Structure 1
Amino acid sequence: MPVVALLVLDGVPGHQLTTPGLVFEAASAPTELRVCSVRPSVATAGPLPLDVTVPWGLDALADADTVVLTGHDGFLAGPPTGVLDALRAAAARGSRVAAVGTGTFTLAASGLLDGRRATTEWCRTAELAARHPGVEVDPAGTVVTDGPFLTSAGVLGGIDLYLRLLGLDHGPAVAGRTARQLIAPLHEDVGATREEIDRELAGTAGLEPTLRWLQEHPYDAPSLAEIAAHAGTSVRTLNRRFRERTGFTPRQYLLRARVERARMLLESGDGTVDEVAARTGFGSSASLRRHFRRLTGTTPATYRHHSRP
């Protein structure tokens, strides 16, 4: 039976604790899931943080076939003592090592991703590239596999990562059946084959420089024509390729990049709400509040209050 060790740290998003169990249960394939940490409990992130008991310590990684590192809100500060050594030891033993979302930052800090391709939450890819220049960052990848290392972005990326693990451990038929059970109802009326979808996605590979440009300059207000010119395509093709690659229109993508940059500035305590609004292209604190609340469910001031240690 494959053993998957889920390594969680304080500040883990609650959904990242439940996603692997959801996928493996739907698969009905024998997989031993161990939830591990450096302490007997961890606190989840979010407006209603919970203390969750963790039954396994770092020693449970010793015989794991796969180690999955979840995201956590302290990913920029560095992990607790022992985590990086445990990841390096797992890789040296031949285990697969994976990271979900901001967990990629911690995995990169171990040095295991140097010279390899990886991804993280789409709003953090530029920061990952800046902090870890030895990593080849894919700004639009959902799941990136390079040798024994897998990294994923966002909620859907986490689901896809566990489906990939199912395919590796139990075969593509099990992974495909589980994917259909979990995801297919969302796409029943699309009417496109996998080959057709793959051909369409192949045409979006040239968007990476434009995605990175928008992430790094969220305070700019480029027109659709300017974004299309940067991507070397027409506005119509730009809209189609953006939706295929990211799930958003260019405008929606830029808005989310602005909100994410605002969130990072609020977390760091860097400037007033008015200053954050000006530095992220919203123009006014009222505009920032409106869009921030719509995308995060809270106001900038409330978010800053709860993000302080």
Structure 2
Amino acid sequence: MYTVAVLALPDAIAFDMATAIETFGRVRLPDGRPGYRLLVAGQEPSVQAGPLRLAIDEGLNALDRADLIVVPGRNDPFAPASPEVLAALQAAAGRKTRIASICVGAFSLAEAGLLDGRDATTHWLVADEFASRYPAIRLNADVLYTDSGDILTSAGAASGLDLCLHIVERDYGTAIAADAARLAVAPLHRPGGQAQYIVRNRPPSRTTLGRTLAWIEANAHRNLALADIAEAAGMSARTLTRRFKDETGQSPMQWVSGVRLRHAQELLETTDHTVDRIAAQTGFPSTSNFRAQFGQVLGVTPGAYRRVFRAQTVA
């Protein structure tokens, strides 16, 4: 039996904690024995987790007994962790104890220095800030989780369940993990990654390109070239490209592709239109080009995306 310690941090996201507690706590082996022993450990005797106040029975020294430590996200992911928590995580990593973060819990692992030189992920909404703060970490915001052996990270919210099921499969095999997935009413392996959940190319709140971005939004379905966008912006192609790179991190044509993909996602979610029709409506030069770009960026086919995200109320 493995011992799992869920770390109760101040301002913890209750969903992240509950995901680990419920998933590991309900794993049963073929003879009926539990697969995991659960501990909830923290620095204080109680913590506030959103609207909940949780009583904590175990101190940080309980992490010494753990085979796996789960670090949940916090509602303010940028708030520093206490030196005692960071030291406890560093000591556990030194013992080669497995440590897994859920959602923005990756910030705590990064603050402890446990992710330097490793692959990691976190919620896509804060991925840019994470990459800026921790350049030594190989961030991949497109995946649901990463596993580098003793350190694991997961993307936003429900990706924590994907990671927990992955750990169960790693510990006990596919059959036990599949039973855990059935109890959670979730697939053992979700198709694609976090990339399909990212809202792409929304105009930034602070930009000098507002009118140009709005023009692209309204004209992305057309056969656009860089010269068309530069003319609409009233500047040279070189100046436009430099401004786009500075303010969006993309070239103008990359921005157009992102807008087209977002429009295609919306049509896949809300209409019965064929893939061929959607490709034409959103400005892709061909259906094959649309399928290729969609799969490359989102990690799934347009049909698979529609099956997951299609609104059931469409007439």
TM-score, length basis structure 2: 0.63
Alignment check: 8 A CA contact 2:25 2:36 kept: no
**Which moved further from structure 2: 34-43 or 157-166?**
157-166
Query: 1:74 Cα deviation (Å)?
Result: 3.6
Q: Which structure 2 residue ranges, 5 or more long, are not aligned?
A: 29-33, 207-212, 222-255, 262-283, 310-315
**Which moved further from structure 2: 50-59 or 214-223?**
214-223
1:235-274 alignment, distance < 5 Å? 235=290, 237-238=292-293, 242=298, 244=300
Query: 1:87 Cα deviation (Å)?
Result: 0.6
- The secondary structure found in structure 1 opposite 2:116 is coil
Distance verdict in 2 for CA 1:149–1:217, change over 3 Å:
farther
Cα deviation digits, residues 153-191 of structure 1 (max 9, x gap): 12221111111221222222211222233235x89xxxx
Match in the other structure for 1:14: 14
For 1:117 and 1:216, the matched residues in 2 are separated by 29
Q: Percent identity?
A: 30
Alignment check: 8 A CA contact 2:6 2:21 kept: no
Matched residue count: 231
Q: Which structure 1 residue ranges, 5 or more long, are not aligned?
A: 188-193, 253-309
Cα deviation digits, residues 94-134 of structure 1 (max 9, x gap): 10011111110110011110010101111111111000000
Cα deviation digits, residues 226-248 of structure 1 (max 9, x gap): 12599898445555663839997
- Greater Cα radius of gyration, structure 1 or 2: 2
Please tell me the root mean square deviation across aligned C-alpha atoms, in Å: 3.5
**Which moved further from structure 2: 54-63 or 10-19?**
10-19
Distance verdict in 2 for CA 1:10–1:110, change over 3 Å:
same
Amino acid of the structure 2 residue aligned with 1:162: C
For 1:229 and 1:122, the matched residues in 2 are separated by 17
For 2:14 and 2:156, the matched residues in 1 are separated by 13
Amino acid of the structure 1 residue aligned with 2:70: V
Alignment check: 8 A CA contact 2:20 2:70 kept: no
Amino acid of the structure 1 residue aligned with 2:184: L
Alignment check: 8 A CA contact 1:144 1:151 kept: yes
Query: 1:20 Cα deviation (Å)?
Result: 1.8
- The secondary structure found in structure 1 opposite 2:158 is helix
Match in the other structure for 2:5: 5
Query: 1:144 Cα deviation (Å)?
Result: 0.9
Alignment equivalent of 2:36, drawn from 25, 31, 36: 31
For 2:128 and 2:168, the matched residues in 1 are separated by 30
1:197-276 alignment, distance < 5 Å? 201=192, 214=201, 217=204, 220=213, 223=217, 226-227=256-257, 234-235=289-290, 237-238=292-293, 242=298, 244=300
For 2:289 and 2:79, the matched residues in 1 are separated by 42
1:77 correspondence with 2:79: yes
Match in the other structure for 2:90: 88
More helix, by proportion: 1
For 1:132 and 1:178, the matched residues in 2 are separated by 34
User: After TM superposition, which residue ranges in structure 1, 4 or more long, deviate above 6 angstroms?
Assistant: 229-233, 245-249
- The secondary structure found in structure 2 opposite 1:154 is coil
Alignment equivalent of 1:106, drawn from 100, 105, 108: 108
Distance verdict in 2 for CA 1:213–1:136, change over 3 Å:
farther
